[in-house]
Amino acid sequence: MEYPDNIDDWREAGKLAAKALQFGLKQIKPGAMLVDVAESVEQKILSMGGDMAFPTQISCNSIAAHFCPEHDDNAVFEDQVVSLDVGVHVNGAIGDNARTVDLSRKHAQLVKASEDALDNAIKIVKAGISIGEIGRAIQDSITAYGFSPINNLGGHGLDIYNIHCKPTIPNYDTGDSTTLTAGQIIAIEPFATDGAGMIYESDRATIFAMVQKKPVRNMFTRQVMAEVDKYKGLPFTTRWLMKKFPAIKVNFALKEMLNLGIIKDYPPLPEKNKGIVSQAEHTIIITDDGCEILTISD
């Protein structure tokens, strides 16, 4: 197979994402503030020469994904099950990885279910394998522990400045016969739960992404939109904007941009039956006879 011309950027992004994730996991301790951990991970990424592919996500207990603490969030870690999802980009090439920490010490098997599912999926991945087969490997791994995969969440393709593109990598056997090809870069992302295996969108998003540009009249909105444009379509969070603009300006601008369809919101995703959720994720590149895991540090 031929690797993409920018494979060095993909490998560097993956390596930095893995280092940032390991750094962040060590910060997750009872009494630590969620916002402090998010900030420290993002500072670590910048200090290593990377940039954020998306805001650091810290999803606890029944929240599967898309929770990002705001600048004034005073929540602390206690006895939660915590999923840390970290993304880095280097010239638009993205490394996306996640792991779960069980501070409660009651859900070790749930954490292992998602980790085993990730490992078993990676073992069978190669050019020519179908998406349904990957989903079946994930599903079988998770159900073997007595848990359920989350059926309406999954992995995804990655492209330059594009965190979610085709194909979707399901967490159950969809029967999809679409096959992977050498050189494709994907994130495999099993979610396991002791709940119903379904998530829904809640309210009050703190994560957004620009989807199109439109003219706006309000000066505040134009100023905030110019800042948002710097993220090149990658997700951002209110916390970043509030370092540069007053909260009232940020909230006004975000509301107007949402109403105009300039940005899309990504609200937190709770499990339908309030089940506890664990997550594990790697970014890989498909090869002729397997894959190369990109989100591994030296």
CA distance 98 to 188: 10
Within 28-107, residue ranges assigned H as helices are 34-47
156 flagged as catalytic: yes
CA distance 146 to 142: 7
CA distance 189 to 176: 17
42 flagged as catalytic: no
115, 133, 281, 282: which is the annotated catalytic residue?
A: 281
189 flagged as catalytic: yes
66, 89, 107, 156: which is the annotated catalytic residue?
A: 156
298 flagged as catalytic: no
Q: Please, which residues have CB within 8 angstroms of residue 205's CB and are 6 or more apart in sequence?
A: 66, 265, 266, 267, 268
CA distance 99 to 114: 9
96, 173, 194, 256: which is the annotated catalytic residue?
A: 96
189, 194, 256, 271: which is the annotated catalytic residue?
A: 189
8 A C-beta contact, residue 221 and residue 177: no
271 flagged as catalytic: no
Amino acid occupying residue 205: A
281 flagged as catalytic: yes
8 A C-beta contact, residue 282 and residue 295: yes
DSSP state letters, 234-259: --EEHHHHTTTS-HHHHHHHHHHHHH
Element (H, E) at 99: strand 93-102
Active site residues: 85, 96, 156, 164, 189, 281
